[in-house]
Amino acid sequence: MSLSATRTRWRTLAVLALAALVGAAGKDAVDRAPVWNRLTDEEHRVIVGKGTEAPFSGEYERHTAAGVYACRRCGAALYRSTDKFDAGCGWPAFDDAVPGAVLQRPDADGRRTEILCATCQGHLGHLFTGERFTPRDTRHCVNSLAMRFIPEAGLAAAFERACFAGGCFWGVEFHLQQARGVIRAVSGYTGGHLENPSYRQVCAGTSGHIEAVEVLYDPRQTTYEALARRFFEIHDPTQVDRQGPDVGEQYRSVVFTLNDAQQAVAQKLVDLLIRKGYDVATRIVPAGRFWPAEAEHQNYYFVHRKTPYCHRPVKRFD
């Protein structure tokens, strides 16, 4: 059977499956069915047929621009450009992935580890360890045909943002950047009147700014509510203008909302915590301009190989 005939058969089966959904669950089931991008024959061979593109032939093998590599079939964020390195192997190489974005399972050959998009189960390539290319000692060897690149300028349109403040931004950043679907978490300042504030100015308590963390996340893989719940469980939302030993207005607990939907979710969670007996001090306010903090405050605990001293996960909702 030719490749075109095979693809036609797959599409026919998909149509029949959707028809069965309509019969069993009505129109709502079809509305909830995933909508994936149409693939070329060669993309289909790799992503669905688990094929491999020729080495040194992919458009991203030597690609170095800043941005995010997403699944070509479903659009889910997979890798950040900061995870990419040149392994000289003939395929794009990454030593890390967006949390929860990539699945691993034994390959059919019985020797290698296959990697797949966790959102649509599309084949990406293979995982290798023990090669010592980078300190993480991990290489995601990925077919260019399995990905599409989203440049830095296009990230705001492709994904969504959230902003939380809950004490020292080092600890909030540490926990949020490990959450499923989080592309990046950036420490910074917001809520005040001073433009482009410095850490020293914010700590002086005269800028009105709060230490906060801006999160860029993929709504295909997580939700704003999931991130907000995590936020309320990694700091103490009952403390006023402090978090543990850190005292001052810059350590205030605040949810900075970007739209009405976020405001409603944040308020719902605060009300739920109040019903559970918590004297919640967290403020919910519209987000203003976010100013990224100095480079030495980014990825602080990962760079210094430490863990937060005043942020730890505590179950509050379950």
Give catalytic residue positions: 141, 168
First to last CA, the chain: 52
Alpha-carbon distance 127 to 109, whole Å? 13
Going 86 to 88 to 91 to 94, the CA torsion angle's sign is negative
Q: Exposed/middle/buried for 261, CB within 10 Å: 0-12, 13-18, 19+? A: exposed
Q: Three-state DSSP class for 200?
A: helix
200 — phi, psi (to 5°)?
A: -60, -40
Amino acid at 234: I
Q: Exposed/middle/buried for 207, CB within 10 Å: 0-12, 13-18, 19+? A: buried
**Sequence-separated (6 or more) residues with CB below 8 Å from residue 82:** none
Rounded to the nearest 5 percent, the helix, strand and coil shares of the chain are 30, 25, 45
